[in-house]
Amino acid sequence: MRIQEISAEELAELFHHYHHALREDFDGSHESQGESWNELPQEEKSRAVAAARLTLLEIAATRKESDRRYFAKPGEAEWGC
């Protein structure tokens, strides 16, 4: 799956799910308030989606930058024979 195929909404919802699923492992918390993505206030959902969107943009930019460092564009490669 390419980074462009992942929506910010999907990433935010999955992150929220796993964050709460792992909480008990790390701090022993059993809180049930606000566990479900659908129960979150709209403002908190919007903030999570915005953070996910910025994350995806940064990952995509980093990948493009690293691709440019290691691969020449077609016709620009130096062939040492």
Dihedral class, residue 34 (left if φ above 0, else alpha if ψ from -120 to 50, else beta): left
Q: Give Cβ neighbours of residue 17 (< 8 Å, ≥ 6 apart).
A: 37
Q: What is the pTM of this model?
A: 0.65
Which pLDDT does position 31 carry in this prediction? 60
- Other Cβ atoms less than 10 A from the Cβ of 3: the count is 14
- Is the pLDDT assigned to residue 64 strictly greater than 80? no
- Other Cβ atoms less than 10 A from the Cβ of 63: the count is 12
Sorted by where each begins, the domain ranges of the chain are: 3-70
Q: What percent of the chain has pLDDT over 70?
A: 70
Tokens for 53, please give them. Answer: 């969107």
From CA 44, how far away is CA 50, in angstroms rounded? 10
Mean pLDDT estimate for the chain: 80
